[in-house]
Amino acid sequence: MTRAVERAAQILLSLASGSSRLGVSEISELVDIPKPTVHTMLRTLERHGLVEQEVEGGKYALGPAVLQLGNAYLDGSELRARAASWADPLARQTGEAVWVGVLSGPNVVVVHHAFRPDDLVQILEVGAAVPWHTCALGHAIVACLDEERRKRLLSVPVQRLTGRTVTDPDALRQALETVRERGYAVEDQEATLGDAGLAAPVFDRTARVVGALGIVGPADRLLAPPGRQGRLVDAVRSTARALSRELGAGR
């Protein structure tokens, strides 16, 4: 039973992390499970609405029940519930979008998104997954994990998303040391060219890191003006500390 659950989880995660639609052969190759087994499990997942098969082509995608599970997680997240009252004022103060994220495997998943206070069209990023090594949120979280979990993440080869993405384990290890020393993380076009981020970790009542809060926006607006960058860092750190205290963390 445990093996079946693990395989089902692998199939669902493969559909979530790669192309939006995959065939049985593609899934089998990604998760290293025999095609007949993959096909049987897809049929079971389909009956429960967790995957769906397209009429033409026969490829599979995540089903609507996954959204139901995701919404249930968001509704039950204390971090997300508490973050709303802090993220929106930070967005108004800085003029930038605010993301709150949690670590899920090798990715950071956005659980709350406060829009920039302007009239430009913006896309809600709640549910978006970003590789931890490419974003300030990820560095802020991983820098505060226990040594064993940090080593596990650093031992897995990571993907280069832009020419600025850091993939060398030693360089990433040093970057995390810097984050621990100064209490915040900086991302400079490592996930998307032109975009940057500033983030700080969020802790709970047990002093465990439970996520991170940060701002995202154009690199030339967040990082180029030194005076403004310092003010933004101060705002992000103080907001993350306030959110941590609301979650029960000590001063």
Residue 188 has a pLDDT of 96
pTM of the entire predicted model? 0.84
User: What share of the chain has pLDDT > 90, as a percent?
Assistant: 56
**Residue range 210-222: mean pLDDT, rounded:** 95
Residue 71 has a pLDDT of 78
Long-range contact pairs involving 42-50 (C-beta distance under 8 Å, separation at least 24): 42/11, 44/8, 45/8, 45/11, 45/12, 50/12
CA 103, 140, 158, 148 torsion: positive or negative? negative
Question: Which domains occur in the chain, in start order?
Answer: 2-68 (1.10.10.10), 77-246 (3.30.450.40)
User: What share of the chain has pLDDT > 70, as a percent?
Assistant: 98
Tell me the pLDDT tens digit for each residue of 150-202: 999 999 999 999 999 999 999 999 999 999 999 999 999 999 999 999 999 99
Let me know if 192 is exposed, middle or buried by CB neighbors in 10 A (0-12, 13-18, 19+).
middle
Q: What is the DSSP letter of 201?
A: E
Tell me the pLDDT tens digit for each residue of 3-48: 888 888 888 888 877 666 888 888 888 888 888 888 888 888 888 8
| Nearest alpha-carbon partner for 83 in 213, 204, 225 | 213
